Amino acid sequence: MDEMTELRGLRAGAPVPDRATLAPGRRRLTEAAAPGRRVRRLRAGRRLAVVGAAAAITVAAVLGTRLGDAAAPSRSAPASTTRTLRLDSPAEVLNRAADALEKQSAGPEPRDDQWIYTRTAQVASQGNGNGSSLGPVTYDADWVPYDNAAAAAKGKDSDYRTAREVHRAANALPDDPARLLAKLRSLYPTGHTAGNPPEREAQHSFRAIGLMAEAYPIAPAALARIYRAMATVPGVRVTGHLVKDAAGREAIAITRKEDDRREQREILLDPHDFGYLGTRAVVTEDHTYKLAVDGAKGPVFRFEKGQILTSDARVEAAVVDAEGEKP
Q: Answer whether 160's CB lies under 8 Å from 151's CB.
A: yes
Residue at 199 is within a domain? yes
In this predicted structure, what is the pLDDT of residue 73? 39
Q: Which residues of 234-245 are buried (b: 16+ CB within 10 A; e: fewer)?
A: ebbbbbbbbbbb
Tell whether 41 is covered by a domain: no
Lowest-confidence region among 36-50, 119-133, 292-306: 36-50
Domain assignment present for 58 = yes
Is residue 78 reached through a cis peptide bond, with omega within 30 degrees of 0 on the bond before it?
no
Q: What is the pLDDT of residues 107-118, one digit of tens each?
A: 999 999 999 999
Distance separating alpha carbons of residues 325 and 321, to the nearest angstrom = 7
Reported as a pLDDT band with limits 50, 70 and 90, residue 198 is confident
Q: Which domain holds residue 246?
A: 46-124+146-286+306-320
Residue 13 contacts residue 46 (beta carbons within 8 Å): yes
Q: What is the DSSP letter of 134?
A: B
Look at 306 and 84; give whichever has higher pLDDT.
306
| Residue 176 belongs to some domain of the structure | yes
The answer to whether position 189 is within a domain reads yes
pLDDT band at 160, cuts 50/70/90? Answer: confident
Phi and psi based region of residue 79 (left: phi greater than 0; alpha: psi -120 to 50; beta: remaining) = left
By three-state DSSP, how is residue 104 classified? coil
For residues 254 and 210, is the Cβ–Cβ distance under 8 A? Answer: no
Question: What is the rounded CA–CA span in Å between residue 285 and residue 305?
Answer: 4
For the chain, the domain total comes to 1
Q: Is 291 exposed, middle or buried (0-12, 13-18, 19+ CB in 10 A)?
A: middle
Q: Reduced to 3 states, what is the DSSP secondary structure of residue 138?
A: strand
Q: Which helix (H) or strand (E) holds 200?
A: none
Amino acid 174: pLDDT: 98
Rank 66-70, 302-306, 323-327 by mean pLDDT and report only the highest.
Answer: 323-327
Residue 310 neighbours by CB under 8 Å, 6+ apart: 11, 14, 15, 17, 26, 122, 123, 124, 125, 279, 280, 281
Residue 160 lies in a domain: yes
Q: Could you tell me which residue, 231 or 300, shows the higher pLDDT?
A: 231
Reference 3, options 36, 27, 22; nearest CA is: 27
| Pairwise CA distance, residues 122 & 120, whole Å | 7
What span, in angstroms and rounded, lies between the C-alpha atoms of 49 and 285?
A: 9
Asked if the structure places residue 139 within a domain, the reply is: no
Contact call for residues 188 and 207 (beta carbons, < 8 A):
yes
pLDDT, tens digit, 9 for 90 and up, residues 203-248: 999 999 999 999 999 999 999 999 999 999 999 999 999 999 999 9
- Residue 223 resides in a domain: yes
Q: What DSSP line would sit under 246-265, residue for residue?
A: TTS-EEEEEEEEPTTSSEEE
Average pLDDT of the residues in 9-13: 44
- DSSP class of residue 241 equals S
Question: For the packed helices 201-213 and 163-171, what is the interaxial angle rounded to 10 degrees?
Answer: 110
